Homo-oligomer: A and B are copies of this chain.
Amino acid sequence: MPILFKKTKEIRNYIKSLRCENRYTVGFVPTMGYLHEGHRELIRTSKIQNDITIVSIYVNPLQFGEGEDFERYPRDLERDLGICEEEGVNVVFAPLDEEMYPEKPLINIEIKGLTHILEGEFRPGHFSGVCTVVLKLFNIIQPDRAYFGEKDYQQLKVVQRLVKDLSLPVEIVPVKTVREKDGLAFSSRNTYLKPEERESALSLYRSFLLAEKLIKGGNKDANSIKQTIIEFIRKHPHVKKIDYVEITDEDLRPVKEVKEGDRILLAVWVGDTRLIDNWRIGDANL
């Protein structure tokens, strides 16, 4: 008689035993390169939790829309390899385009309620490109754990849901946003900022502190807090456009009344640089 399994966990263990017990656990940090302090934090977390840490460096064309910054996105493999060495990364995967996309993929991946809001509204197709490359990388690397920064909070939620819906055998580990001393969230795109724009770029972080102050002061109305944030950011000289400011629960569902654990998410153009950032309400020590 064949062995009968009805539970995913049990058949997974059986198959693991077929292939002989994993000797090493693999932690995976997918990146687009031009590594900064935020990436280092992902790597360090992986190093603590796994035997082997693999970093991928690949500027994925599929997640850039037409007219976006794919061409000018900063690239420096030598510098990145140096950082990986400093951090004790075991393996770097820097695939060539023809390895990742020998043909243009025909697949389109959507996740209801997650991929068409916020970033998805302003960058149509972005999350389909993210999901495709993440699935490809997971299928190639087959990591036990993968590390994603909260800086791209919506991406984190999309990937978590992807893993759930597709029963992927990987644990997604969120890592807190790392900020510069002045509060600006680390991002490879910060290199686009002109010196005179930096002060305006800080308005994102400062608007979170302002919101926290309002909430501590008793204002729980998401709409009025949103308006205050918009007005605050808009008065900075180099702010060209605000794509969105939203307040949601931790699963990106809009809220009317704000509570601890909710998220403020925003996307703002400072000069020619589009910055995104987000904040967990309750995280400021005021």
Contact = CB atoms under 8 A, between A and B. Distances in A.
Contacts of A92: 2-5
A93 interface: yes
Nearest to A106: B112
B6 A96 contact: yes
Task: Bin chain A's interface residue count.
Answer: 35 or more
Given A2-B85, A108-B110, A111-B108, A7 B95 contact: yes
Given A18-B24, A111-B107, A141 B11 contact: yes
B14 A91 contact: yes
B166 A136 contact: yes
The quantity of this chain's copies bound in the complex is: 2
Given A19-B22, A20-B20, A2 B107 contact: no
A142 B21 CA distance: 14
Contact of A11 (B93, B111, B167): B93
A3 B55 CA distance: 10
Interface of A: 1-8, 11-12, 14-15, 18-24, 26, 52, 55, 81, 84-85, 89-96, 99-100, 103, 105-114, 132, 135-136, 139-142, 161-162, 164-169
